Amino acid sequence: MSHPGPSAVAITLSESERAELVHRAKMPHRRSAEKARIILACADGMSNAAVARFVGVQAKTVGKWRRAFAADG
């Protein structure tokens, strides 16, 4: 019997935050673009596992950036 993990932190973006992240997602700096795509997908309501598959990273990486953004913006 498996136990569900903690719920993912909900991400809500203002229009200006979303615009900035969309801009960063298109940048050539892979890491900055990757983080932006992760946060945008999280804000769209995707689970950590789904975001991980979409972006091509580990689910723990998604959780890390989701929590960091929720705490610090």
Q: What is the pLDDT of residues 17-34, one digit of tens each?
A: 999 999 999 999 899 999
Q: At what angle do helices 59-72 and 48-55 cross, to 10 degrees?
A: 110
The reply to whether 9 falls in a domain is: no
Between CA 65 and CA 58 the distance in angstroms is: 11
CA 10 to CA 58: how far, in whole Å? Answer: 19
- In one letter, which amino acid is 17? E
Is 46 a member of any domain?
yes
SS3 24: helix
Residue 57: domain span:
15-72
Whether residue 60 is contained in a domain is answered as yes
Q: How many CB atoms lie within 10 A of CB 9?
A: 14
In which residue ranges of the chain is pLDDT below 70? Answer: 1-6
**What is the pTM assigned to this prediction?**
0.87
Number of structural domains (the chain) is 1
3 within domain boundaries:
no
Does a structural domain hold residue 8? no
